[in-house]
Structure 1
Amino acid sequence: MTLRSKRGTELAPAFPEIRTGATHLPDATALDGKLVVWDATGRLTFERLQNRLQRRGAGAGPGG
């Protein structure tokens, strides 16, 4: 599974739950979309998405 930014940066380590969910899709499935993050009030927050990308790897996981 490959998860890349529009500039080609690998994002899968920052979003392991997407990788896990993708295992249920048929082989050769291609998806195109955008990642968004909501805060506790229901507003979209680019800052939380950026924080998640900076934590990618070992500590990355839902909620951050």
Structure 2
Amino acid sequence: MKAIVDQDTCISCGLCVSGCPEVYHFNEDEKAEAIEDDIPSGSEAEAKSARDGCPVDAIDIKE
């Protein structure tokens, strides 16, 4: 399972970063981005919750 953040859509609200820092962080452009690797097995629920809570639907999770 892998998370992807659409950089053009992201508004840098920080919801995903604060809700699941194991998967999401801010990049040098101050946009959220996901880790390059697969989502750690213990963080899948939090990663999905962050996706579902994104106010602009910028996050996709591929299974």
Same fold, judged at TM 0.5 (above): no
- Larger strand proportion of the pair: 2
TM-score, normalization by structure 2: 0.29
Higher relative contact order (CA 8 A, sep 6+): 2
Structure number with bigger Rg: 1
